[in-house]
Amino acid sequence: MKLKKWSLLVAIVTALSLLAACGSTNGDGNGTSTGKDPKKEIKLAYVAWDSEIASTNVVREVLEQKLGYKVDMLQVDAGPMWSGISNGSADAMVAAWLPTTHESYVKDNEGKFEDLGPNLVGTKLGLVIPSYMDITSIEDLNDAVGESVKHTIVGIEPGAGLMMATEKVLEEYGLADNWKLLSSSSAAMTQELEKAYANEEPIIITGWTPHWKFAKMDLKYLEDPKGVYGQDEQIHTIVRNGLKDAQPEAYAFLDAFEWSADDMAEVMIQIVEGASPEAAAKAWVEANSDKVDAWLK
């Protein structure tokens, strides 16, 4: 009786093994796996800024759906984003604001990454206010204006290049003793802005373009006559050293990837109106097949 049970168990295990083997073929009997090539994996690092959420998800969508990659999304702060590329724990990012905002990270990681050039041009950084406020320049931030906003500038994540630039602005314009820069997050900053804007209350934030807030609200940059924030910037694609040899197909796409501020705004607005980043990126890729095809030539 024990022998019969043992024989039955062996038969069941053998049958299951055969079924598993059949299921791993591509249907032509050659045993080729239908799953994604385990070598076609890539890690994208990004910061949780609306602009970078949009761009990184579009890149992910193309890598996964057009090129068959498995993509891991690594949301980190700016410093770890750069160090991750430099030490190889991440493969690429499309979120490097240059030449000013991320200048310190470039110096800290010099020689440890490859810059594929700009993927978006015409960005801008600075202090942003609602247009109903009647000041025009950082030099107008006197005590009366300060009292109206509790001498506070609403910022984003601590350590971000924009925050470091704004700390320098406070020093250069003689505001450091009386004004404070409030660290928060890009999401919290926009929530505070929307709340103040709805009530026509004064508010000063650290802002950048492209961003959906300019399409939703009437805002303006404060002039920066001392040029502390620098000139208009570009967003660059940065990859780890060796990616070209390790993942030539992904490298070629990342090298070709470029789009406009209007393209990015389309994705950002979909997200702020309720779409998930994945769904917004998918919709944009499907609606812009000509641009996507050009990246993949």
CATH number of 71's domain = 3.40.190.10
Given 165, 187, 221, which residue is the final one in a domain? 221
> Are 75 and 200 in a shared domain?
no
Tell how strand 41-46 and strand 70-75 pair up.
parallel
> Are 211 and 240 in a shared domain?
no
Tell whether 21 is covered by a domain.
Answer: no
Tell whether 149 is covered by a domain.
Answer: yes
> Are 194 and 260 in a shared domain?
no
Given 194, 221, 248, which residue is the final one in a domain? 221
Helices (H) and strands (E) in the chain, counts: 13, 9
> Are 184 and 140 in a shared domain?
yes
pLDDT for position 239: 99
> Are 169 and 210 in a shared domain?
yes
> Are 113 and 254 in a shared domain?
yes
Tell whether 20 is covered by a domain.
Answer: no
Tell whether 78 is covered by a domain.
Answer: yes
Tell whether 26 is covered by a domain.
Answer: no
**Domain containing residue 161: CATH number:** 3.40.190.100
Residue type, 121: V
Cα separation, 256 vs 237, in Å, equals 10
* Residues in the chain with pLDDT values less than 50: 1-35
Residue with structure tokens 């979909």?
A: 270
Tell whether 15 is covered by a domain.
Answer: no
Tell whether 201 is covered by a domain.
Answer: yes
pLDDT for position 25: 37
**Among 232, 268, 211, which residue's Cα sits nearest to residue 125?**
232
Q: What values do phi and psi take at 69, rounded to 5?
A: -85, 155
> Are 178 and 251 in a shared domain?
no
* Number of other residues whose CB lies within 10 A of the CB of residue 175: 19
pLDDT for position 39: 79
pLDDT for position 184: 94
> Are 47 and 79 in a shared domain?
yes
Given 201, 221, 241, which residue is the final one in a domain? 221
> Are 160 and 212 in a shared domain?
yes
Cα separation, 249 vs 67, in Å, equals 8
Cα separation, 233 vs 235, in Å, equals 7
Residue 284: which H helix or E strand, with range? helix 277-287
> Are 131 and 94 in a shared domain?
no
Please give the structure tokens belonging to residue 288.
């812009």
> Are 109 and 170 in a shared domain?
no
Burial group, residue 70, by CB count within 10 angstroms (0-12, 13-18, 19+): middle
Tell whether 144 is covered by a domain.
Answer: yes
Residue 190 structural domain? 124-221
Domain count, the chain: 2
> Are 56 and 189 in a shared domain?
no
